Amino acid sequence: MKSVLNTYNRRNIQFVRGKGSYLYSSNGKKYLDFVQGIAVNSLGHCHPNLVKAINKQSKKLWHVSNVFKIQEQEKLATRLTKATFADFVAFQNSGAEATELAIKIARKYHYAKGHKNKNRILCIQNSFHGRTLATIFASNNKNSVEGFGPKVEGFDHFEFGDHKELEKKITKKTAAIMIETILGEGGIKVIPDVCLKGLRKLCDKKNILLILDEVQCGIGRTGKFFAFEYAGIKPDIVPIAKGIGGGFPLGACLMSKKVAKGMTPGSHGSTFGGNPLAMTVGNAVLETLLTKNFLKNVETKGNYFQNKLKLIQLMYPNVIEEVRGRGLLIGLKLCVSQPKFIELLLKEKLLVVKAADNVVRILPPLTVSNQEIDIAIEIIKKVCKSFK
């Protein structure tokens, strides 16, 4: 990849075909894919419903401007609002765009109410909200911001789990708290339900908005449509992406009626966001995801997988320190070298992906079978054993 800008340490493997939970490489090898484009291919590779939908739509209409009515957009927005807390949806093309729009909506909400200085966003230090200028400074990872100054202003930070610091950092200027319900890149750090409940109360008390970034943990990944549903709370704004497109670039920002008021015609736009082709794929993903028992099965399979992993952790506490996650968003916090662990799994034809905090992320498709989980379990066990 000589002519491609060198911003990735790429593995020397090339995949030419995918089917369900499996990927096939150019040299004819078969891999169990528990990365799935980092939680993007929610229904696995080339799901027949998605293939059918995209083929059909590709012969009808690909793209028209948002200056016209788009039926597929209305259909997907209605589906999303019916299934969730939201009253309105704005379509984008990626996670970073969706989180950046969430920031814009939060600021505009207070601005429209006459609070022109209430514009600061409080985030978790070393989180992940994307790679645009605003979202890197919102995430505040040393490696992602270095060299990209001047700093985009308007973000404050607290350490994960530090309730005191969180309360201290809230000022009259705070417009919103924006956090991932489960920190993905940060190492599958689950925010406990009781903390989410407390956070909702705190935001209400202080008149600030709650933005929950569900780009990675949303769209059924945890066994609920949104991960925050476990806590029984309602956020104000929720950016989504990854899983909603099933492999097609698609992002969106969901919001309540109250918050949407500030966003008037002309205040935001996107050339590609919400085009008929992308919307058709999104609709096909949701048609499958929202069928009876689909999400329940994700939760059951997630518990099945995590319980088996916890047994391995008990057998090899010197290799795995902790099993983290919810549903099929799983992290193994390791005591051993993470790159080596990933390398050994790769040799056994199991694909996983790294996260911060010496964590390995396991992200099977939501359509994974128990039998495929068992295959992965045997491989992980074998690799743990080799560390002894």
Would you please indicate which residues are annotated as catalytic (active-site) residues?
A: 128, 213, 242
> Residue 193 burial (CB < 10 Å; 0-12/13-18/19+)?
middle
CB of 102 to ligand PLP, least distance (A): 10
Integer Cα distance of 178 and 157 in angstroms: 10
> Residue 271 burial (CB < 10 Å; 0-12/13-18/19+)?
exposed
Task: Establish if 331 lies at the interface with ligand PLP (CB under 6 A).
Answer: no
CB nearer to ligand PLP: pick between 241 and 342 = 241
Q: CB neighbours of 372 closer than 8 A, spacing ≥ 6?
A: 21, 32, 364
The residue within the footprint of ligand PLP, chosen from 18, 184, 235, 327 (CB under 6 A), is 184
> Residue 92 burial (CB < 10 Å; 0-12/13-18/19+)?
buried
| Total chain residues near ligand PLP (CB under 6 A) | 15
CB of 184 to ligand PLP, least distance (A): 4
- DSSP for 153-194 reads SSEEEE-TT-HHHHHHH--TTEEEEEEESEETTTT-EEPPHH
Token pair 């918050």 is found at 259
CB nearer to ligand PLP: pick between 242 and 308 = 242
> Quick one: which segment of 10-18, 113-121, 124-132, 370-378 binds ligand PLP (CB under 6 A)?
124-132
CB of 216 to ligand PLP, least distance (A): 3
The residue within the footprint of ligand PLP, chosen from 20, 37, 130, 273 (CB under 6 A), is 130
Integer Cα distance of 166 and 158 in angstroms: 6
> Quick one: which segment of 79-87, 125-133, 229-237, 288-296 binds ligand PLP (CB under 6 A)?
125-133
CB of 307 to ligand PLP, least distance (A): 25
Task: Establish if 128 lies at the interface with ligand PLP (CB under 6 A).
Answer: yes
Instruction: State which of positions 69-108 bind ligand PLP (CB under 6 A).
Output: 94-96, 99
- Name the residue among 185, 176, 205, 196 with its Cα closest to residue 136: 185
The residue within the footprint of ligand PLP, chosen from 45, 79, 118, 129 (CB under 6 A), is 129
CB nearer to ligand PLP: pick between 330 and 380 = 330
CB nearer to ligand PLP: pick between 208 and 238 = 238
Integer Cα distance of 279 and 71 in angstroms: 9
Residue nearest to ligand PLP (CB): 95
CB nearer to ligand PLP: pick between 33 and 180 = 180
The residue within the footprint of ligand PLP, chosen from 180, 236, 357, 372 (CB under 6 A), is 180
Task: Establish if 42 lies at the interface with ligand PLP (CB under 6 A).
Answer: no
Output b/e per residue, 234-249; b: 16+ Cβ within 10 A: bbbbbbbbbbbbbbbb
Q: CB neighbours of 70 closer than 8 A, spacing ≥ 6?
A: 64, 274, 275, 276, 279
CB nearer to ligand PLP: pick between 47 and 129 = 129
Instruction: State which of positions 196-225 bind ligand PLP (CB under 6 A).
Output: 213, 215-216
CA-angle at 214, arms to 67 and 251, nearest 5°: 25
Residue numbers of the site for ligand PLP (CB under 6 A)?
A: 94-96, 99, 128-130, 180, 184-185, 213, 215-216, 241-242
